[in-house]
Amino acid sequence: MHRCLDLAQKGLGTTYPNPLVGAVIVYQDNIIGEGWHQEAGGPHAEVTAINNVQDKSLLSKSTLYVNLEPCSHHGKTPPCVDLIKSHSIPKIVVGSLDPNPKVSGKGIATLQKWGCEVIQGVLNNEADFLNRRFFTYHIQKRPYILLKWAETEDGFIAPLQETKEKPQVFWISNTLSRQRVHQWRSQETALLIGVQTLIYDNPNLTTRHWKGPNPLRIVLDPTNRTPKNATVNRDENPTLFFNREKLISSGNKIHIQLKPFTLENVLAYCYSKEIQSILVEGGKVTLERFIKEGLWDEARVFKANKKLKTGIAAPLFEFEENLKETIGGDVLKTYFKQTYQAII
C-alpha cells in the first residue's frame, strides 16, 4: 500500500477532478504489475497495472492493492470493477473508501457480490491524507483551500505602497522558495488573488519557474478595478474574474457576477465547475477573509531573514505549525486545519 501511495503521488496536479490513485498487483510476494492514474480521461491506475502484467494468467492468483476504492460507474472510462472481474482477481486490498456518491462503497460491494475477498482500510489515514483535496471537494462541497504568503522576520508581507517602486515586485522569499511556489501552482487546480494585489504587482501567476501546468487564475474584483493592460487580461491563460457587475466575457477571460459577493458564493461557483483545489496567494485583506471565515484547509508560510521595519503587516494567524522546513535560509511552516499529526 505504501507503494500505491508513492505511485499515486506522481499524478498530483494532472488528474483533476479525479483523485490520486496508484495500484500494485502482487503474485507470491512479487510485484508483477503496477501503475497510477496520470490524467483525467486516461486509464485508471488499476487498468494500467493490469495492462503491465506480462503473464495475464497470473492475475487469477494475485492480489490487487489500490489506495482508493475501485470505481463501479461509467465515466470517461469503463468501471474498474468490471476489468477486475474479467481477470478473476480474487483479492483486493483497499486504502480509502471513495467519497464520490457515484462510488461510495458501491465498488467494494460489487466486488464482494462477485465473490472477491476485499480488505479495507489499509493505511487508511495516509490514503485519506493523500487525497485530502478530493475528499474535501466531495464531502464539504467546496474546493480544498491552501493559503500561502511570505513574511519578514519582523512580521510584514510587503512594503507600504508609497515606498515601493512600481512595477517591480518586492521579493521577501528567496529564489528557491519562489521556485517551490511555482511547483505548488502546478499541483493545484486554481490560484486566487485579490484585485489589490493585481493592481500593485501585475503578476503573471504562472508556473514559469517550474515544469508543469499553469493553474486556472481567479481574481476577486468586486468593483471591477482590474486594469485593462494587466498581464492576466493580455496573455493567453484562462482567468475568472468575480465581481458584482454583469460584464461581457471575452475568450477565456470569464467575468462572473455574484450577488451577494461572498467567499461562500465564490467557492460554490468553483465547486460547480469541478475546481477541486485553490492556492490563495492574495494580500493581507484577501488572506484574512479566508482565515476569519474559517475557509481554509492548509497554510504555507515563509519566514525570511529580512526586516522591513514598516509596511503591510502579515495576516493574523494564531495556529501551531505542523511541519517546519528550511529552504535556502527561509523557514517554511505548514499548517493543517484538520489534525494529521499521526500521518505527517
Pick the closest to residue 63 from 99, 3, 23, 106 (CA basis): 23
Q: How far apart are CA 78 and CA 98, in angstroms?
A: 16
**Whole-angstrom distance, CA of residue 133 vs CA of residue 188:** 9
Q: Given the C-alpha cell 494468467, which residue does it identify?
A: 57
- Among the listed residues 34, 46, 126, 281, the single catalytic one is 46
185-208 burial: b if 16+ Cβ within 10 Å, else e? bbbbbbbbbbbbbbebbebebbbe
On whether the CB atoms of residues 25 and 42 are closer than 8 A, the answer is no
Three-state DSSP state, 332: strand
E-strand ranges in the chain read 22-27, 30-36, 63-68, 91-96, 117-119, 144-151, 156-158, 190-194, 216-220, 239-243, 253-257, 277-280, 298-303, 312-313, 323-327, 330-336
Spell out the residues 6+ positions from residue 284 whose beta carbon is closer than 8 angstroms to its own: 157, 312, 313, 314, 315
Indicate if 46 belongs to the active site: yes
Q: What residues are annotated to the active site?
A: 46
